[in-house]
């Protein structure tokens, strides 16, 4: 299957990118040309889901696309450093006799430009550079270059932004545009193809879904005969087989009320909307979501995925029936899926391991705490809030905070009174 690539750029850059495309029969590309940066979002959004990846002609369109938050596939842009800049500087020095210190630059970072000139053996360093992160207007760049030129500090401007170059031409400022080179485009396209291969490999990783289902809760509980239990198991298996077929996987039982589905990472990613929500099992196969507790494990082998699935199920059961958790191959845990209090934490962290050795707390507990603080956007928390996020008893949360306080990792910085008659709650500042 061909890689569907959306390509967006200014007219001159896009022409260079398109000239390279015939060398890549494995890529099907969809070109978009823009004339003004403010048009980029309107051009992008109607086609955002039509391609596997996006390639932009420079930093600004890339940043504008990223800022929309709508692009969920890999993106890249063609860098202007390297051969692109060599070509521009060679023209300036050889054809016009203009030195580097007589030119104003934009876009590049100071370190990047310094390193480039050092590698090129150019002793006269640059004097004038307008570096920016993300997006900048063409008029702001044009103002910068024009001011230096009119004050006699520069003889020419070098810009990476097409619209800034056009604006400077209108103002009569000598300007030279850094365009992508074929070599630069080739390099990025090869990188995108390798990324695509990696993603396909990732999607085909083994995934295991372990589910615990109590079919009798739907019937109101009570005592059931062996035949009734077996009939309920058979009906549940029939429903799960339909779900398993949808996942293109295989199903096995792992004891009364426990089922294991072997499938691929990509299939589970699709059904859970990138591991953010629980699939509509009731609508799909007629099983109520609140009856199903689930752990999803991702691994490089079936054995590793099954071990991770069991660990994820353990975490899900800790949070109660109806919860789903995911354990990835990088030792990170995400969940509960579809809940507002969803958090992500990792087992592997040298920093947290050191804190664990210093305290009586496990790396898993510390990792959960770290994730909660990051999600809240503050390192201040009280025991009641911690208990709610971790879904543990307030006394257990207080024990965690007191242990951290005893080792100097938490400090009491104040108190809160949730109601006039209640006992004040200590507020802790955590420094992991």
| pLDDT winner (highest mean) among 348-352, 364-368, 385-389 | 385-389
Task: Examine the domain organization and report whether 162 and 273 are in the same domain.
Answer: no
Q: Is residue 423 part of a domain?
A: yes
Nearest to 168 by CA among 137, 145, 136, 135: 145
Number of structural domains the chain divides into: 4
pLDDT in tens, 135-160: 788 999 999 999 999 999 999 999 98
pLDDT mean over 344-351? 68
Tokens, residue 246:
């949808």
Q: Is residue 83 part of a domain?
A: no
* Res. 56 pLDDT band, cuts 50 70 90: very high
> pLDDT: is 209 or 356 the higher one?
209
Q: How high is the pLDDT of residue 224?
A: 56
Alpha-carbon span 64 to 66, nearest angstrom: 5
Among 133, 168, 200, where does a domain finish?
200
Alpha-carbon span 311 to 256, nearest angstrom: 19
Specify the DSSP class assigned to residue 213: E
Task: Examine the domain organization and report whether 52 and 109 are in the same domain.
Answer: no
**DSSP string for 278-308:** ---HHHHHS--GGGEEEEEEEESSHHHHHHH
Q: How high is the pLDDT of residue 155?
A: 95
Task: Examine the domain organization and report whether 37 and 61 are in the same domain.
Answer: yes
Specify the DSSP class assigned to residue 160: S
Q: Is residue 402 part of a domain?
A: yes
Q: Is residue 248 part of a domain?
A: yes
Alpha-carbon span 407 to 35, nearest angstrom: 59
Give the whole-number percent of the chain exceeding pLDDT 90: 39
Q: How high is the pLDDT of residue 172?
A: 96
In degrees and rounded to multiples of 5, residue 137 shows phi and psi of -85, 150
Task: Examine the domain organization and report whether 138 and 262 are in the same domain.
Answer: no
Q: How high is the pLDDT of residue 217?
A: 59
Q: Is residue 84 part of a domain?
A: no
Question: Which residues constitute the domain of residue 401?
Answer: 350-430
Tokens, residue 103:
């030119």
Task: Examine the domain organization and report whether 215 and 325 are in the same domain.
Answer: yes
What does each C-alpha distance from 102 to 1, 105, 145, 154, 301 come to in angstroms?
50, 10, 12, 5, 59
Q: How high is the pLDDT of residue 4?
A: 93
* Res. 232 pLDDT band, cuts 50 70 90: confident
pLDDT score of 213 more than 70: yes
Which CATH number does the domain housing residue 72 bear? Answer: 3.40.50.9100
What does each C-alpha distance from 371 to 138, 163, 312, 342, 409 come to in angstroms?
40, 43, 17, 10, 16
pLDDT score of 352 more than 80: no
pLDDT score of 298 more than 70: yes
Give the whole-number percent of the chain exceeding pLDDT 70: 94
Alpha-carbon span 48 to 64, nearest angstrom: 13
> pLDDT: is 326 or 82 the higher one?
326
Alpha-carbon span 85 to 338, nearest angstrom: 48
* Res. 210 pLDDT band, cuts 50 70 90: very high
Q: What is the pTM of this model?
A: 0.53
pLDDT score of 420 more than 70: no
* Res. 365 pLDDT band, cuts 50 70 90: confident
Task: Examine the domain organization and report whether 135 and 167 are in the same domain.
Answer: yes
Tokens, residue 216:
């009798």
Among 317, 339, 361, where does a domain finish?
339
Task: Examine the domain organization and report whether 307 and 376 are in the same domain.
Answer: no
Task: Examine the domain organization and report whether 216 and 274 are in the same domain.
Answer: yes
pLDDT score of 297 more than 90: yes
Task: Examine the domain organization and report whether 59 and 95 are in the same domain.
Answer: no
Task: Examine the domain organization and report whether 74 and 171 are in the same domain.
Answer: no
Q: How high is the pLDDT of residue 402?
A: 92
Q: Is residue 379 part of a domain?
A: yes
Residue 159, classified by CB atoms within 10 Å of its CB into exposed (0-12), middle (13-18) or buried (19+), is buried
Which CATH number does the domain housing residue 208 bear? Answer: 3.30.70.270
Task: Examine the domain organization and report whether 309 and 399 are in the same domain.
Answer: no
Radius of gyration of the chain (CA): 29
């Amino acid at each position: 299957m061909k890689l569907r690539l959306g390509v967006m750029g200014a007219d001159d850059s896009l022409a260079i990118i398109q000239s390279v495309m015939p060398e890549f029969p494995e890529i099907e590309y969809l070109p978009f040309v823009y004339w003004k940066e403010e048009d980029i979002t309107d051009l992008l959004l109607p086609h955002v889901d039509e391609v596997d990846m996006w390639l932009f002609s420079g930093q600004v369109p890339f940043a504008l696309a990223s800022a929309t938050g709508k692009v969920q596939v890999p993106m890249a842009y063609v860098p202007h450093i390297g051969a692109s800049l060599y070509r521009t500087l060679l023209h300036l020095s050889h054809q016009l006799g203009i030195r580097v210190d007589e030119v104003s630059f934009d876009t590049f970072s100071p370190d990047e430009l310094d390193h480039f000139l050092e590698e090129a053996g150019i002793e006269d360093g640059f004097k004038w550079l307008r570096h920016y992160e993300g997006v900048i207007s063409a008029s702001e760049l044009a103002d910068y270059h024009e001011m230096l030129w009119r004050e006699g500090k520069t003889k020419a401007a070098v810009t990476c932004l097409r619209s800034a170059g056009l604006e400077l031409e209108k103002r009569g400022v000598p300007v030279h545009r850094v365009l992508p080179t074929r070599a630069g485009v080739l390099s990025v396209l090869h990188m995108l193809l390798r990324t695509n291969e990696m993603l396909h490999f990732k999607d085909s990783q083994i995934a295991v879904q372990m589910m615990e289902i109590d079919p009798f809760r739907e019937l109101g509980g009570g005592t059931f005969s062996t035949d009734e239990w077996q009939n309920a198991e058979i009906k549940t298996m029939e429903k799960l087989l339909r779900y398993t077929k949808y996942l293109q996987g295989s199903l096995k039982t792992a004891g009364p009320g426990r089922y294991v589905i072997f499938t691929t990472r990509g299939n589970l990613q699709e059904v859970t909307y990138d591991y953010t929500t629980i699939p509509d099992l009731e609508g799909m196969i007629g099983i109520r979501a609140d009856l199903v507790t689930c752990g999803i494990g991702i691994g490089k082998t079936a054995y590793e995925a099954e071990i991770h699935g069991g660990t994820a199920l353990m975490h899900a059961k800790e949070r109660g029936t109806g919860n789903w958790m995911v354990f990835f191959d990088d030792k990170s845990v995400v969940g509960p899926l579809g809940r507002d209090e969803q958090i992500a934490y990792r087992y592997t962290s040298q920093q947290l391991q050191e804190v664990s050795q210093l305290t009586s707390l496990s790396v898993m507990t510390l990792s959960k705490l770290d994730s909660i603080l990051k999600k809240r956007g503050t390192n201040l928390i009280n025991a009641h809030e911690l208990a709610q996020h971790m879904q543990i008893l307030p006394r257990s949360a207080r024990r965690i905070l007191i242990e951290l306080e005893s080792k100097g990792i938490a400090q009491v910085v104040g108190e809160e009174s949730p109601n006039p008659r209640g006992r004040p709650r200590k507020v802790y500042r955590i420094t992991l």
